[in-house]
A and B are shown apart, each in its own frame.
Chain A
């Protein structure tokens, strides 16, 4: 079955440590996205990538980094510079062309930093 996988579902880290969240898709989508969701808020865009080896900052990129070495994979690293990293992180992908722009989401990763 085609879809987007994120692992792990729950992640715990100590303050000061970097942590990498995984996102893989087998939908052959060109574009991939990372969002952060906090209680009572909508989703906010962290980074996005429209093609391999290229990515752009979203609205809240500070303290995060990404890479896009393969079309299927778009890992997100939460660095120690992120002041409030505890949140729910969602990865999404879309075809991103031919008037097909809707994004499909993975199941998310809940990150807790103490």
Chain B
């Protein structure tokens, strides 16, 4: 069974600085999708970024980018120029095709003004 591990329960970063959230996963598949979701205090889950395993290029969405290391099964999220609105729980998730999402346990990110 696929598993997703987020080893950092909590992280903090100064406003305007850069922070990296870690995620590793376990799978025997070669074709799959990886996602980062953000859950602010409102508890609405918001898609931040997605990565297809068959693409070597790392995905980027404005201040958010990933470092996808397929051989190492690592999928970290880098947030640049951190803003107060980035404070949230961040969940890494794995999906194979049109099957279920498997989530990690999350990292709580605090932004220090």
Interface residues of A (CB under 8 A from B): 31, 33, 40-45, 48, 50, 58-59, 88, 90, 92, 94, 96-97, 99, 101-105, 107-108
> Can you list 8 A-B contacts (CB < 8 A)?
A42-B103, A42-B104, A42-B106, A43-B101, A101-B33, A101-B98, A104-B47, A107-B44
**Residue among B37, B44, B101 with most chain A CB within 10 A:** B101
Question: What B residues does A105 contact at CB under 8 A?
Answer: 37, 44-46
Q: Does B25 contact A (CB under 8 A)?
A: no
Contact size range, B: 20 to 34
Question: What B residues does A44 contact at CB under 8 A?
Answer: 103
Question: What A residues does B33 contact at CB under 8 A?
Answer: 101-102
Q: What is the number of contacts between chain A and chain B, taking CB atoms within 8 Å?
A: 50
CB distance from B26 to the nearest CB of A (A): 15
Q: Does B60 contact A (CB under 8 A)?
A: no
Question: What B residues does A102 contact at CB under 8 A?
Answer: 33, 35, 47, 50
- Flag if B91 contacts A43 (CB, 8 Å): yes
Q: Does B111 contact A (CB under 8 A)?
A: no
Q: Does B42 contact A (CB under 8 A)?
A: yes
Among B21-69, those with CB < 8 Å from A are 33, 35, 37, 42-47, 50, 52
A1, B42: Cα distance in complex, Å = 20
- Flag if B101 contacts A45 (CB, 8 Å): yes
Indicate whether A90 sits within 8 Å of B105 (C-beta atoms), given known contacts A48-B100, A101-B97.
no
- Beyond A42-B104, A43-B103, A94-B98, 13 additional contacts (C-beta under 8 Å) are A33-B101, A42-B4, A45-B100, A45-B101, A48-B100, A50-B98, A88-B43, A101-B95, A102-B35, A102-B47, A105-B37, A105-B45, A105-B46
- Flag if A96 contacts B98 (CB, 8 Å): yes
